[in-house]
């Protein structure tokens, strides 16, 4: 991952949650649809993996629903923020990994793999979905939100480029279905959301698939 992007998240970790709360028109529907899907499939015996876990905005919600959550992120400062939340909430079932998901080896398979507005930072979508499929246990579920490949979202991606130094990936429904099928994953639901109108599709894509 680009050093400028990692530095951006390290520098802004302390204010990240507050900044995200200011974009409630995006984050609230994202949170609602993702947590609703997770609660329907998660079990207390499950192991879960969160890619790009950040400050733990979703991680701490998932932790009570699973046996253990492995949370990986490239920003150590973001993970430190999560660690503080874990201490405050007395959560001990989250295993943190500081590193790049694509460069990290895992010695287990997961019943649930999740990621929220994070996989767009990984350039090689083919390798990403291949690795996700490899790590997902048979019968396991994949639940993701990511940037939707629309003209409106393109402007946002340009803004991210100048702010973070990386031009984010984006996913159309067609591309997502191809990646799922190519990697032995069955689509359960793909929905665009946030800022939908008669002139534009949603800027986020919600993806739920199973192996």
Domain residue ranges of the chain, discontinuous segments joined by +? 3-210
19-23, 39-43, 128-132, 173-177, range with the lowest pLDDT: 19-23
CB-based contact 36:191 (threshold 8 Å): no
Rounded Cα–Cα distance for residues 195 and 56 (Å): 24
Sequence-distant (6+) residues with CB within 8 A of 70 are 47, 48, 49, 50, 94, 95, 97, 106, 110
pLDDT recorded at residue 126: 97
pTM: 0.91
Q: Does pLDDT of 44 surpass 90? A: yes
Fold of the CATH domain 3-210: Rossmann fold (3.40.50)
> 32, exposed or middle or buried, with CB in 10 Å at 0-12, 13-18, 19+?
exposed
- pLDDT (tens digit per residue) in 76-126: 999 999 999 999 999 999 999 999 999 999 999 999 999 999 999 899 999
Sequence-distant (6+) residues with CB within 8 A of 158 are 167
In which band, very low, low, confident or very high, does the pLDDT at 153 lie, cut at 50, 70 and 90? low
4-8, 9-13, 110-114, range with the lowest pLDDT: 4-8
- Quote the Cα angle for 158-101-3, to 5°: 50
pLDDT recorded at residue 69: 98
């Amino acid at each position: 991952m680009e050093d400028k992007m990692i530095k951006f998240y390290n520098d802004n970790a302390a204010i990240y949650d507050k900044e995200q709360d200011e974009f409630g028109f995006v984050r609230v529907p994202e949170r609602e649809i993702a947590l609703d899907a997770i609660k329907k499939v998660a079990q207390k015996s499950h192991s879960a993996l969160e890619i790009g876990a950040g400050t733990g905005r979703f991680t701490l919600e998932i932790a009570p629903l699973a046996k253990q959550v492995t949370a990986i992120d490239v920003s150590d400062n973001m993970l430190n923020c999560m660690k503080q939340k874990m201490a405050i909430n007395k959560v001990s079932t989250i295993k943190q990994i500081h590193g790049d998901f694509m460069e990290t080896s895992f010695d287990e398979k997961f019943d649930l793999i999740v990621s929220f507005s994070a996989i767009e930072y990984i350039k090689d979508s083919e390798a990403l979905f291949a690795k996700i499929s490899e790590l997902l246990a048979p019968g396991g579920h994949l639940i993701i939100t990511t940037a939707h490949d629309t003209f409106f979202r393109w402007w946002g991606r340009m803004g991210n480029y100048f702010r973070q130094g990386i031009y984010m990936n984006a996913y159309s429904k067609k591309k997502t279905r191809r990646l799922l099928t190519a990697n032995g994953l069955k689509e359960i639901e793909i929905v665009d959301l946030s800022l939908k109108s008669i002139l534009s599709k949603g800027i986020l894509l919600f993806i739920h698939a199973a192996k």
